Structure 1
C-alpha cells in the first residue's frame, strides 16, 4: 500500500512475523496482511501532488512485439481481453474456507487468484487449504536486506523455497519483494543504501536459483508501488526493473486513500510497461469517502480496466482485519458497493 496508508504496528509478535507456519493459509495470510505498515507520508508524486491522468485515452498497446522468445505471462499465461479477478481474502470472524464460500455465494463465482503472504524465512506452500480448485496462487514473499541474498548466505533457503513451490499442484505467481520503491520495507532501495541495482541483482539471483531447481511453473511478478517514496530521481520505479527476461508479469499496488482516480494510480505503470508485459493490479481497494463514493470508484475502476487491454489480472485487497489502519477494504461494506462489485465480477472483461 502507499506510504500515506501506513502506520507501524509495533505490537506484532515474532510468532506473527514468522507467519504462523503450518496453521494453514487463513492464519498465515492474516498474519502477513497486517505487516503492510510503515511511514505516515502522503502519497505524492515527484511533483509533490498526485499527477493528473493522461489527457488522451489509454492506447491499445502493440501486440507485445518486443517480448522476445519467452511465453507471455510465463506459466500463468496472459489471455487477451480477459482479466483474472482474485483477492487477498481475510474477513473478521471467519475462517479462510468460510470466507471463500461467502464470496462464492455473493458473486456467483470463485476467485481466480488466491493471494497469500509469507515472510522471508517461512517455508513456502506446497498446498493452500481452502483455495478454489481453479484458482492460481499469488505468493507475495517478503525479502531481507540485499546483502543477505547477494552474499550467497541465503542460497540454501532460496533453493528450498524453490523446491516447495515446484511441488505445488499448479502454476503459481510469485511476487518477491513488492513495493521496493517505497521506504517502508527492509528490501526497499531506501533501506539498502539507496541502491536500486542491488534489488535488481537480488531478483535475478532468486530467479536463477529457482530455474536451477526446476521450479519452471513459476510466473515472476515484479510489482512496484504506484508512486515512489521518497520521490527522488534515484528512486524511480524503472530503476528497479530486473529486465524482460526475468519478469513475466508487471504488477502495481494502489488504493484510493486520497480519492485518487484509477488512472492516477495505475497509468504510470501501464503506459511504461504494457507494450512489453501483461499488467496485473496486485493490490487494490476502494475506501469509502462518504455518500456513494465507494461504489462510484468501483464503477470507475471497472471502466478503467475495460479500456486497458493489457491488464490481465486484478487482485482485490478484500479484508477488514488489517490492524495497522481503520479502513475496511472489503467490497461489501455497503450493499450498494457489493452490488457494483458483483456486476464487475460478472462482466466478460473479468472472465479470465
Structure 2
C-alpha cells in the first residue's frame, strides 16, 4: 500500500501473525511428491501482455518468453488458464483451524494458498496447524535494513531459515521483503538511502544462500506495491526487480481503499511483467464504501482476473484482526459480499 493506502502500524502485530514457530502441517507427500520432477519439465506456454492498452481494456494476449529448462512458477507451477485462490486468514476470536473450517463451509472448498507472516529473526515454519492438505504455504518474511544482510552478519540466520523451509519437503512460496517500493517498511529503498540496488543485492544474496542449503522447494515471489511512494524516478518498481533468474512469480499488493478499480491497481504490474513471469495478486481485499460497493467490487475483480490469463494466483487479505485499520477486510462482512466471493471461488478460473 502507498502512504495513503497502507497499514498505519509499521509492525506486524503478534495477533496478526499466523506464522508462529511450532504450528503444525500434515505431511503432503501424496499431493506434492512430484514437485521436484515437475520443476525440471520444459516450460509451458501461457498468455501475457507486452503492451499497455487502456486501463479499461483487457490486455492483448502474447506468449511468455522462453525461460529455458525451468517450469514457469518454479516449484509452485503456473497452470495455464487457472488461478490458485487463497488467503491470509485471521478472524476475531477464532483459532486458525476453526477459521479454515468456517471458510470451507461457506465456500464449499479449501483455500489453495495459505498466507503466513514472519518477522526477520523468527524461525520460519516447519508446520502450520490447520492448513488444508492441498494448500501451498506462502511465507511473507520481513526484512531488516540492507546492511544487516549485505554485511554477512545475517548469513547464519538466512541459512537456518533455508534449512527449515527445505525441511517442509513441499512446495513453498517465499515472499521476502514485499512492498519495497513504499516508504513504510525498514527494508524499503526509501529507508535505505534511496537505494533500490541494495534491495536487489539482498534478494539475490538470500536466494543464493537458500540454494546452497538445498531449498529447491521454494518458489520465489517478488512483490511490490501497486504504485510507488514516493513516486520519484529513483523509486520506480522495476528498479527493485532482481531479474528473471531469481524470480519465479511476480506479485503485487493492492486494496480499493480509495475506490480504485482492479485495473488501476494491478494493470501496471500486469503489463510490465506478464510476458515474462506468472502474476500473483499477493494481497488484495475490498473495502465497503457503502451500499453494494463491496460485493460489486468483488464481482468486478472476478471479471478482471477472467480477462488476464497470466494471473495464476490470488491471495485475499481475509481478516478483521488487523489493528491498524477499522475496515474489516474479511469476505463475509455482508451476506451479499460473502455470496459474491463464493460465486467467484466456484468459477473454473479459480480451480487451480
**TM > 0.5 between the two?**
yes
Residues 169, 217 of structure 2: 8 Å contact kept: no
Residue aligning to 1:203: 203
Cα gap change, 1:168 to 1:106, in 2 (>3 Å): same
- Establish whether residue 320 from structure 1 lines up as the match of residue 311 from structure 2: no
Question: Cα offset for 1:66?
Answer: 3.5
Cα gap change, 1:202 to 1:336, in 2 (>3 Å): same
Residue aligning to 1:48: none
Residue aligning to 1:182: 182
Question: Cα offset for 1:12?
Answer: 8.0
Question: Residues 38-187 of structure 1 correspond to what in structure 2 (within 5 A)?
Answer: 54=55, 56-62=57-63, 64-187=64-187
CA distances 1:155-213 after superposition (whole Å, capped 9, x unpaired) = 00000000000011411000000000000000000000000000000000000000000
CA distances 1:135-164 after superposition (whole Å, capped 9, x unpaired) = 000000000000000011100000000000
Distance across 2 between alignment mates of 1:259 and 1:162: 39
Question: Cα offset for 1:21?
Answer: 4.3
Cα gap change, 1:56 to 1:340, in 2 (>3 Å): closer
Residues 87, 113 of structure 2: 8 Å contact kept: yes
Residue aligning to 1:258: 258
SS at match of 1:245: coil
Residues 67, 277 of structure 1: 8 Å contact kept: no
Distance across 2 between alignment mates of 1:110 and 1:17: 21
SS at match of 2:4: helix
Question: Residues 266-281 of structure 1 correspond to what in structure 2 (within 5 A)?
Answer: 266-281=266-281
Q: With the length of structure 2 as denominator, give the TM-score of the two structures.
A: 0.88
Residues 126, 168 of structure 1: 8 Å contact kept: yes
Matched pairs, number: 325
SS at match of 2:87: strand
Cα gap change, 1:204 to 1:276, in 2 (>3 Å): same
Residue aligning to 1:213: 213
Cα gap change, 1:261 to 1:325, in 2 (>3 Å): same
Question: Cα offset for 1:292?
Answer: 0.5
SS at match of 1:93: coil
Residues 53, 264 of structure 1: 8 Å contact kept: no
Distance across 2 between alignment mates of 1:284 and 1:7: 13
Q: With the length of structure 1 as denominator, give the TM-score of the two structures.
A: 0.88
Residues 85, 345 of structure 1: 8 Å contact kept: yes
Distance across 2 between alignment mates of 1:12 and 1:79: 32
